[in-house]
Structure 1
Amino acid sequence: MLDPARRRPVTLHDVAREAGVAVSTASRALSDPGRVNVRTREHVQAVAKRLGYRPNRLAQALPTGRTGMLAILVPDITNPHNFGLVRGAEAQARAASSTLIIADTQGGPELETAHLDRLASSVDGFLLAASRLSDTELQDLAERLPVVLFNRRVEGLASLATDSADGSRQIVEHLAALGHRSLAYLAGPSGGWSDAERWRALSEHAAASGIGIVRCGPFPPTLDGGPAAADVGLATGATALIAFNDLLAIGVLRRLAERGVPVPAHVSVVGYDDIFGADFCSPTLTTVAGPVDDAGRMLVDVLQAGRTPEPVITLPTHLRIRNSTGPAPAPPGG
């Protein structure tokens, strides 16, 4: 009998020896059970379960070219916005009998490239959230392995994106209805696709509504980016500050509180993403929400379906109005 206390992993050879069959028979019983008789299959599977055997995914990939593993790369693993994305992707990967590997790019193309190079031989495909690689680099990657993008568009690649453009329209219309005529956008990472989309839509809808808007930044899309963003935004004289994401917006709220600037009585604040915590910061944050969990599940579905032409999917957004927005303050002397 095998010693159950030993620490090394149980191998296929161990299972075969314990079951009294050839290694090839044990392999077929576990990976292609239709090729062995029922009695042998059940015996080998029972032995494997008793010994705690776990198949080596990389070894299994040699004849099939598939490892059963997927990788999702996110720009900031500490951002609650990515929690739902990862949770949805992991649940769908598990339902498809795949394993999901998570990597944090820290928003940098160099680290993103390093992760991709390291994982390329071990996974069946990549899910890339807010990738900072160039279009050409992503197209080259897609020629080697299946790739699905989230919140990024590249010609010829499958992608999902939340509808930041419509979310931005909702922000402008909401603030206009509250009497705001001067807005400031507190920008996120320079060169980011989502940042560009949000600014484009905000500026277009502000112009259409006869509202002035200025772009400030870029700022780190984190709580720590909030103080500088708040100070710069206030200096513009805008009555509403629109932050690139909720982390930045909550950092702005903290700074405004430190400076004794009342929100929304003196200035309104809006974010994007509706992260965990947006509804219990003080004041609660008005923000654009999207179906992030669903997006994670859909990323896996699109990757594994491998449809041609590659789908380009836009997910709806809606504005959650909370306590950080209110009527524009009366002009001095008004």
Structure 2
Amino acid sequence: MTDNQHDDEGKVTIRDVAKAAGVSPSTVSRAFARPDRVSAATAKRIFSVADQLGYHSDPVETMPSRGLKGMIAIIVPDIANQFMSDMIRAVQHEAASHGVALVVSESRESASWERTSFDRIVPYVDGVILASSRMPDAMIRKCAQTRPVVVANREVRGVDNVTCDLTQGIAQLVDHIVKQGYSRVTYLDGPASSWSAGVRWNAMSRGLASRGVTARRIWPGSPTFEGGFAQAQKYLEDPTGMVVTHNDLMALGFIAAMRRLGYDCPKDFGVAGFDNDAVGQIYSPTLTSVRMSPALLGQRAARLLLAKLQHVTSTENLAHVATSLVVRESSCRVASMD
């Protein structure tokens, strides 16, 4: 069973949404958890029907607490990823300012590890932040029934979320690619279990298509230096000139592999990533990247969770973090920067 198909009496189920949208329940599940696996038109129809029916429009009800323990947790897929470490540091800083301690756990990109970590941590903490969660939506909602949960870098109906608004960052990246004269782009995507991977691909492919640029996707991939390194041979089977990667680590690995094969960036190909990691800023060539602000994601996720624990309704707009493009050497065919 891919989602909660037997909610309490009177509540809209995934089967109700599927029937009204004229698709299968599994298609509805994919539209929410893996948006790149259904067409844009189908996803739009499913989301519209879900809104009309009120599918998981109410917040998940959490079991009452018997008193606060003064500790929260964050579960991340990869502690070594700078995006995650920056988010952890921001959560810790925010929690400490409220006199709350932080427990950190790593899921190793595994939904089952993530659920196991959650179940083991829950007895000792007041609430949990799930960063870039790999669990299905229904499993996340089940978790939110046992403790207050905030999901960072992922959208899940019925649960508080903090996500990056990719609109501006991707629009700027597409515009930059067009200005550099590229007509074809290869997108090196991230893990199959990543919600953000699907969202980025959908936004990138639509944006490029609207400007007459053809997009080729190599997927799935590991969101690591090694993951990017491993994709060079696949790229060379049909080189496009411009490459966009799921994150900066993949971009740096790809550049390193291409350099070993005798290709120079940006002379022979251009590259851009996501995250704006520190290493990309001092790499050679310096890396063009979409700034994602993981520290702000972490800070806002922590504020949301702490407000929930104190039964306070936040007046801040914490749900979305803006993105923007930082142009550097790796994507520029000309000497001057945009």
TM-score of the pair, normalised by structure 1: 0.76
Work out the CA distance in 2 between the residues paired with 1:233 and 1:316.
Answer: 31
> Which residue matches 1:319?
325
> Which residue matches 1:81?
83
Give SS of 1:255's match: helix
Deviation at 1:166, TM superposition (A): 3.2
Work out the CA distance in 2 between the residues paired with 1:232 and 1:241.
Answer: 12
Aligned counterpart for 2:119 among listed residues 102, 112, 117: 117
Aligned counterpart for 1:72 among listed residues 71, 74, 96: 74
2:251 aligned partner, one-letter code: A
Work out the CA distance in 1 between the residues paired with 2:281 and 2:314.
Answer: 40
| Residue 196 in structure 1 maps to residue 202 in structure 2 | no
> Which residue matches 1:300?
302
Give SS of 1:72's match: strand
1:305 aligned partner, one-letter code: A
Deviation at 1:168, TM superposition (A): 2.1
Deviation at 1:225, TM superposition (A): 1.0
Work out the CA distance in 1 between the residues paired with 2:66 and 2:116.
Answer: 26
Aligned counterpart for 1:134 among listed residues 114, 133, 136: 136
Give SS of 2:182's match: coil
Rg comparison, structure with higher value = 1
Work out the CA distance in 1 between the residues paired with 2:303 and 2:314.
Answer: 15
Give SS of 1:214's match: strand
Work out the CA distance in 1 between the residues paired with 2:236 and 2:266.
Answer: 13
Give the alignment of 1:169-318 within 5 angstroms.
Answer: 169-306=171-308, 313-318=319-324
Does structure 2 conserve the Cα–Cα contact (< 8 Å) formed by 1:131 and 1:152?
yes
Moved more, 217-226 or 126-135: 217-226
Deviation at 1:163, TM superposition (A): 2.0
Does structure 2 conserve the Cα–Cα contact (< 8 Å) formed by 1:217 and 1:229?
no
TM-score of the pair, normalised by structure 2: 0.75
Q: Give the number of equivalent residue pairs.
A: 266
Work out the CA distance in 2 between the residues paired with 1:309 and 1:157.
Answer: 15
Work out the CA distance in 2 between the residues paired with 1:234 and 1:289.
Answer: 28
Does structure 1 conserve the Cα–Cα contact (< 8 Å) formed by 2:307 and 2:314?
no
Deviation at 1:191, TM superposition (A): 3.2
The change in CA–CA distance for 1:191 and 1:104 in structure 2 (over 3 A counts) is closer
Give SS of 2:129's match: strand
Per-residue CA deviation, residues 31-84 of structure 1 (Å, 9 max, x unaligned), is xxxxxxxxxxxxxxxxxxxxxxxxxxxxxxxx9521110001111000111121
Does structure 1 conserve the Cα–Cα contact (< 8 Å) formed by 2:243 and 2:269?
yes
Does structure 1 conserve the Cα–Cα contact (< 8 Å) formed by 2:245 and 2:274?
yes
2:306 aligned partner, one-letter code: Q
Deviation at 1:94, TM superposition (A): 0.3
Per-residue CA deviation, residues 184-205 of structure 1 (Å, 9 max, x unaligned), is 1001001311100110001101
Work out the CA distance in 2 between the residues paired with 1:303 and 1:287.
Answer: 29
Per-residue CA deviation, residues 63-109 of structure 1 (Å, 9 max, x unaligned), is 95211100011110001111211111101100110001111111111
Work out the CA distance in 2 between the residues paired with 1:282 and 1:327.
Answer: 15
Work out the CA distance in 2 between the residues paired with 1:129 and 1:166.
Answer: 22
Deviation at 1:180, TM superposition (A): 0.6
C-alpha RMSD of matched pairs (Å): 1.8
Give the alignment of 1:148-167 within 5 angstroms.
Answer: 148-167=150-169
Does structure 2 conserve the Cα–Cα contact (< 8 Å) formed by 1:158 and 1:312?
no
Per-residue CA deviation, residues 206-251 of structure 1 (Å, 9 max, x unaligned), is 1100110011121111111122212212322211110101111110
> Which residue matches 2:18?
none
Name structure 2 gaps, 5 residues minimum.
1-64
Does structure 1 conserve the Cα–Cα contact (< 8 Å) formed by 2:275 and 2:293?
no
